[in-house]
Amino acid sequence: MTSPHIALTIAASDPSGGAGIQADLKAFSANGAYGTAVLTALTAQNTRGVTGIHAVPPAFVTEQLDTLFADVRVDAVKIGMLADAAIAAAVADALERHRPPYVVLDPVMVSTSGHRLLEADAVSVLRERLLPLADLITPNLPEAGDLLGTAAAKNRADAIEQARALLRAGARRVLLKGGHHTHDAQSVDILADAIDAADATAATAATGALGAGVTELSAPRVNTRNTHGTGCTLSSAIAALRPQHDDWTTAVRAAKDYLTGALRAADTLHVGHGHGPVHHFHQYWS
C-alpha cells in the first residue's frame, strides 16, 4: 500500500469548475496528490463573471480546519480566496496552531472579470498575518501592487523590485507571475527567495543583473482566451508537487510545465461562453 501526499485547499467554490476549490482539487489530482478542501465562501459565477459571494462564518472555517487537522495528515496547504478580514484571521490562527509543512498563498483579490473577491480591510490581515506564515506567495502583477499599495509593475526591473519589496514585507518566497505582460512572446515569472533583500536590490540596481536569490522562469505564452482559473491551478499544482521534489524551484518549474500543457489543451474543452477553464486533465483525457 502507498500513502499519497495529501494537499489541502482553503478557498471558495466556483460552480463552473474552472477556478476555486474545484480547480484546486483537479490540479491536486492531476499532479499526484490526494485533495482535501476547506470552504471559505460560496460564489455565484460562471465563465463570464461573478454575480455574488456568500462568505462562510469564520467560526465554521475554524471548525472545518481543526476537524480536518485532528484526523488527516496534511503535507501541503494552498490558500486561495478568503473573502474578508475575519476569515483571513481565522485561517492564520489555524495555521499557527497546526503548522503544516508547506504553505502556498495565492492572494486572490480580483477575478478575471474584474469582480473584487477580497474586501479592502482584509488586505492588511493578508499582509501582516498570512505573508509570514506562507512558504511561497504567488501574486500576479496587479495583486503584488495591491499588497504593496502601489501600481502594478510595467517591466522586468519593476517586477524584480516588487518581488524584493514583498520579501522585505515579510514573505519568505515570492513567485511574481508575469502573465499580465500580454505583449511578450514568453510568460516570465520572477521567483525570489528570502535572502537579504536590501543587499540584493542594491546589487541588481548596480549591475542590471537579476541579483542573488532571483530566478526567471519562462514559458511560451499560449494564445487562448480560456484562462479562467490559471492562478488557482498554478498555486495548487505547486502545493501538490512541493512534497514530491527536493526544492521550491524544481516544484515551481514542474507546476509551470503542467499549466502550460493545460493552457495548450484548453481550447479542446467547450465550457461556457466566456473565458473558459484550462484543461486540468490534459495528460489523461484523449
Q: Report the catalytic residues.
A: 177, 227, 229-232
**How far is 54 from 40, CA to CA, in rounded Å?**
9
Say if residues 54 and 41 touch (Cβ distance below 8 Å).
Answer: yes
Instruction: Write the CB contacts of 5 (distance below 8 Å, at least 6 apart in sequence).
Output: 32, 33, 34, 75, 76, 240, 243, 244
Instruction: Write the CB contacts of 279 (distance below 8 Å, at least 6 apart in sequence).
Output: 261, 262, 263, 265, 266, 268, 269, 285
Say if residues 130 and 91 touch (Cβ distance below 8 Å).
Answer: yes
**How far is 26 from 129, CA to CA, in rounded Å?**
28
At 182, give phi and psi (nearest 5°): -70, -10
Report the greatest alpha carbon distance in the chain.
Answer: 55
Instruction: Write the CB contacts of 117 (distance below 8 Å, at least 6 apart in sequence).
Output: 12, 50, 53, 81, 83, 108, 109, 110, 111
